[in-house]
Amino acid sequence: MFSELIKQIPGITIYPIVVTVAFFLTFTGIIIWAIRADRKYVKHMSELPLDTQEYKGDEI
Amino acid sequence: MSGIETFQYDNKIVKQFTIATIFWGFVGMLVGLIVALQFFWPALNLGIAQTTFGRLRPLHTNAVIFAFVGNGIFMGIYYSLQRLLKARMYNDLLSKLHFWGWQLIIVLAAVSFIFGVTTSKEYAELEWPIDILVAVVWVIFGINMIGTIIKRRERHMYVAIWFYIATFFTVTILHVVNSIEIPVSLLKSYPVYAGVQDALVQWWYAHNAVAFFLTTPYLGLMYYFLPKAAERPIYSYRLSIVHFWALIFIYIWAGPHHLLYTALPDWAQSLGTVFSIMLIAPSWGGMLNGLLTLRGAWDKVRQDPILKFMVVAVTAYGMATFEGPLLSIKSVNALAHYTDWIVAHVHVGALGWNGLLTFGILYWLVPRLYRTNLFSVKLANVHFWIATLGMIFYAIPLYWAGIAQGLMWKEFTADGFLKYPIFMETVLQIIPMYMIRALGGTLYLIGVIVMIYNLAKTIQGATCPDNEEAQAPALQAADGHHGEKAYWHRWIERRPVQFMLATVVLVAIGGIVEIVPTYLVKSNVPTISSVKPYTPLELEGRDIYIREGCYTCHSQMIRPFRSETERYGEYSKAGEFVYDRPFQWGSKRTGPDLHRVGGKYPDAWHYLHMLDPQSMASGSIMPVYPWLINDDLDISSTPTKIRVMQKLGVPYPEGFDQQAVDDLREQSLKITASLQESGIEVSYKKEIIALIAYLQRLGIDIKGEND
């Protein structure tokens, strides 16, 4: 039933290639940024569940 | 700087979900124990329709997944979300509607399943009216959760909240796509998908139900409650970013690993395998993050039963997420598919990860909600050991049974014949394993009873205040400047809407790439000209097969192995299933595959076998089905069924719905005549006639070509 609708999508074969490239770029990017993250900020975020620190506003 | 605001956390809703979690956990596991006993004590099916394994199995799966884990998710989210965002839930009425709506769904599910109202699609068995209710309640939950996020006082969203968001959006997509069905009546519908496409959509859904209902929300809960219980922050926030995005992107593609060596196109199977193996990395990222949080604090684990539960839960998560990818390798899957190994795998995850983490959270949360101490730390420790022992007694016998039976199915003698040609032989060999498994489940349930006692004594004489006061500064407007080390991910953590969009996009990619080509590319489901639609009588028989849950024990998918073609006949082709709505490939062979049972036994054999399986197959553990012989077939919706099928593209002749009942009667009379020749007198109106017609049709369409 959907075949008729979906057959009209042009150039469908390129999408998996685009996705794979986007996947690799995205994850390389995420890993690089994760490695370069600011230490103080990381500490603040990881302690959020614990009621250890006073609220410091948006400075960090 | 703004002033400090005073507000209140809603604890009442948390308390309600907590009680529901415990109650349904007990109920769901009790049903699990009953069905486990039925494996070696078939008399426990009681000879009535409502208590047969086929009807109770979905009751068990839905109760433990949606009622136990579901309420557990909401218990954890409603508690942690408010505190992480320093804001009360967005709307109290939505909270109430969510809670009562969810419990209503559970009750409706229980009633509908035992009366055979089912779509037979695993973990999506609810028929269309309840599907709509699920969507409504789920959206209510979403509005409540997203509303809270938007009115938060803590600008940055802790990792647990990303998991909750991903859960919400993905489950929405999964539920909607897998539930697209055309109603035939109030209690019956047919999916728009058929055969191969239905199988792919179903297992895309079901595996992602595991991913986004059983895993991601619980990872979120782990990221909150484990640091709380251990009183230290999570090991690596950076790791949580990387593994979160990787997990939600990769998980979606893994669905085809449920369909290896079936009629699903090869490219889809390969994608499922590759992504399942890649999934080890982000899953273990989560496990390591949890376990390493306790580095240097392992002596705390020795003292504290809560940490014991959590550590074993996270470890079980790691085990299951290693085993899963291994089972997704085709050569391993060739042995494991349809066996009890898969059941063992499921329960390592379910009892270990979901169960134990829930218990750990309960022991932590209930005393805090009621502002008292846990009644007995000793009993909590006892529960821990009983639960762990129960899991071991559950999983190990089933590993044994699964591998032994899988090997028996495959074994050939030196002369090239099947070593175990009688399926029953392979079943009888593993009955002792089923008994030990039931012992394991009993132990696990006893542990839950110990917990209920402990928690009941804890809350005795204590009260849980509906609200808990809190204070926090109001949210300040963000300034554009973030200093030199502007950090990309912080940007999106402060922007929940963009975060949600990114999540949805990532999650949608896998589904679209895997599902769309099965429609577009004709070679994926080659047409077989001799395959014809089911007759009205066969269609009714098929719907009885679905109603009774036959798929819970019987598969209809012969794999291209010599051991299977010798035992069952020609392997199953994609084109044979084009009119199957829903598909009935099954996931387990407690009994033999039925795809080519058509013509294998005379009508009389089927009649006697359904009446009492042990009369035709000595030692059978299959339940008896006497009501099929006593009850009249309901033909009131037969014409509607034909019309709906026509609308969905099945090539019945124009106007055939008007002739359907006559056609049905004609075919019924032929079958009763054949039964009469074997000395069996039965009215042509009975349900058994329809079921026999269906069973005799299975797999014969392509046989003509080989003769």
Name the band, by pLDDT with cuts 50, 70 and 90, for residue A8.
low
Quickly list H helices, B587-686.
603-611, 613-616, 627-630, 638-647, 656-677
What's residue B481's pLDDT? Answer: 47
Mean pLDDT of B282-309: 95
Q: Is the pLDDT of residue A59 over 80?
A: no
Alpha helices in B357-495, H assignment, sequence order: 357-369, 377-410, 423-459, 488-493
Q: Are residues B368 and B439 both part of a single domain?
A: yes
The C-alpha R_g of chain B, in whole angstroms, comes to 26
B687 plus B629 within the same structural domain: yes
- CA angle in degrees (0–180, nearest 5) for B135-B141-B145: 140
Banded model confidence at residue A37, pLDDT cuts 50, 70, 90:
confident
For residues B566 and B450, state if they share a domain.
no
Residues 6+ apart with CB under 8 A from B179: B124, B128, B131, B135
- Chain A to chain B Cβ contacts (< 8 Å): 98
Q: Which residues of B329-348 are buried (b: 16+ CB within 10 A; e: fewer)?
A: eeeebbbbbbbbbbbbbbbb
* CA distance linking residue B553 with residue B546, whole number of Å: 12
- What is the pLDDT confidence band of residue B483, given thresholds at 50, 70 and 90? very low
Residue of A nearest to B515 (CA): A6
- Nearest Cα to B381, choosing from B284, B305, B490? B305
Record: contact B228-A34, CB cut-off 8 A: no
All residues of chain A having their beta carbon less than 8 Å from the beta carbon of residue B83 are 49
Does the residue B479 lie in any domain?
Answer: no
pLDDT score recorded for residue B506: 76
B126 sits in the region (left: phi over 0; alpha: psi -120 to 50; else beta) called: beta
Give the closest-approach CA distance of B154 to chain A in angstroms: 9
Q: Cβ of A30 and B489 within 8 Å?
A: yes
Tell me which residue of B511, B489, B501 sits closest to B250, measured CA to CA: B511
Tell me, yes or no, whether B123 lies in a domain: yes
In a domain, B526, yes or no: no
Phi and psi dihedrals of B126, rounded to 5?
-65, 135
pLDDT tens digit sequence for B492-515: 666 777 778 777 877 787 777 777
Quick one: B503 and B542 in the same domain?
Answer: no
Residue B642 lies in a domain: yes
Domain co-membership, B279 together with B234:
yes
Task: Find the mean pLDDT for residues B77-81.
Answer: 98
Are residues B505 and B580 located together in one domain of the fold? no
Residues B433 and B339: their CA atoms lie apart, in Å, by 13
Q: Give the model's confidence band at B369: pLDDT under 50 very low, under 70 low, under 90 confident, else very high.
A: very high
Question: What CATH number corresponds to the domain at position B294?
Answer: 1.20.210.10
Taking CB atoms and an 8 Å limit, are B520 and A23 in contact across chains? no
Which residue does chain A place closest to B239, by CA atoms? A34
Copy the structure tokens of residue B196. 């191969």
Interface of B with A in 66-105 (CB under 8 A): 80, 83-84
Split at pLDDT 50, 70, 90, the class of A58 is very low
Nearest-CB residue to B487 (from A41, A43, A48): A41
On chain B, the residues whose CB falls within 8 A of the CB of A4 are none
Find the CB nearest B489 among A3, A16, A33: A33
Mean pLDDT over each residue of chain B, to the nearest integer = 93
Going from the C-alpha of B247 to that of each of B271, B279, B286, the distances in angstroms are: 16, 7, 9
- Residue A2's pLDDT is 53
Show the domain range for B546.
Answer: 536-706
Three-class DSSP category at B330: helix
Look at B156 and A48 and tell me if their CB atoms are within 8 Å. Answer: yes
- For residue B486, what pLDDT is reported? 46
B693 within domain boundaries: yes
d(CA B490, CA B285): 20
Looking up residue B571, the CATH number of its domain turns out to be 1.10.760.10
Q: What is the mean pLDDT of residues B347-362?
A: 98
pLDDT for the residue B502: 77
CB B167, CB B213: distance < 8 Å: yes
Domain count, chain B: 2
Q: Given the structure tokens 């039933």, which residue do they identify? A: A1
Same-domain status, B177 and B229: yes
What is the tens place of the pLDDT at every residue in B11-21? 999 999 999 99
Contact status, residue B635 vs residue B684, Cβ threshold 8 Å:
no
Tokens of B296: 């240097």
> Residue B552 class from Cβ within 10 Å (0-12 exposed, 13-18 middle, 19+ buried)?
buried
Distance of CA B394 to the CA centre of its chain: 19
Report how far residue B146's alpha carbon sits from residue B523's, in angstroms, rounded to the nearest whole number.
Answer: 43
Q: Is the pLDDT of residue B482 over 80?
A: no
Shortest CB distance from B246 goes to which of A9, A27, A37? Answer: A27
Question: Which amino acid is residue B443, in one-letter code?
Answer: L
Tokens of A42: 């990381």
**Angle at Cα B147 formed by Cα B144 and Cα B152, nearest 5°?**
125
Q: Highest mean pLDDT range out of B243-257, B261-275, B616-630?
A: B616-630
For chain A, counts of helices (H) and of strands (E): 3, 0
Region of poorest pLDDT, from A6-10, B229-233, B291-295 = A6-10
Percentage, residues of chain B above pLDDT 70 = 96
Interface test with B, best of A9, A46, A47 (most B CBs within 10 A): A46
Does the pTM surpass 0.80? The reply is: yes
The chain B residue lying nearest A19, using CA atoms, is B509
Is B246 inside a domain boundary? Answer: yes
Q: Are B151 and B289 in the same domain? A: yes
Each residue's pLDDT tens digit, B202-259: 999 999 999 999 999 999 999 999 999 999 999 999 999 999 999 998 998 899 999 9
Nearest to B579, CA basis, from B268, B180, B191: B191
pLDDT tens digits for range B394-415: 999 999 999 999 999 999 999 9
- Any domain includes B477: no
Rounded to a whole number of angstroms, the distance between the first and last alpha carbons of chain B is 86
For residue range B669-686, what is the model confidence (pLDDT) as tens digits?
999 999 999 999 999 999
Regarding whether B540 and B502 lie in a shared domain, the answer is no
In this structure, the number of other CB atoms found within 10 A of the CB of residue B392 comes to 12
ipTM for the whole complex: 0.75
Q: Is the pLDDT of residue A55 over 60?
A: no
Alpha carbons B271 and B256: distance in angstroms, whole number: 8
Q: Taking 90 as the threshold, does the pLDDT of residue B438 lie above it?
A: yes
Say if B527 falls within a structural domain: no
Residue B602, SS3?
Answer: coil
Classify residue B299 as exposed, middle or buried by CB count within 10 Å of its CB (0-12, 13-18, 19+). exposed
Whether residue B63 contacts residue B102, with contact meaning beta carbons closer than 8 Å, is answered with no
Q: Is A48 on the interface with B (CB under 8 A)?
A: yes
Q: How far is A22 from chain B (nearest CA, A)?
A: 10
Mode of pairing for the β-strands spanning B188-191 and B181-185 = antiparallel
Determine which of B234, B523, B646 to mutate to test the interface with A (most A C-beta atoms within 10 Å). Answer: B234
- The predicted model gives B255-272 an average pLDDT of 92
Structure tokens at B224: 């909150």
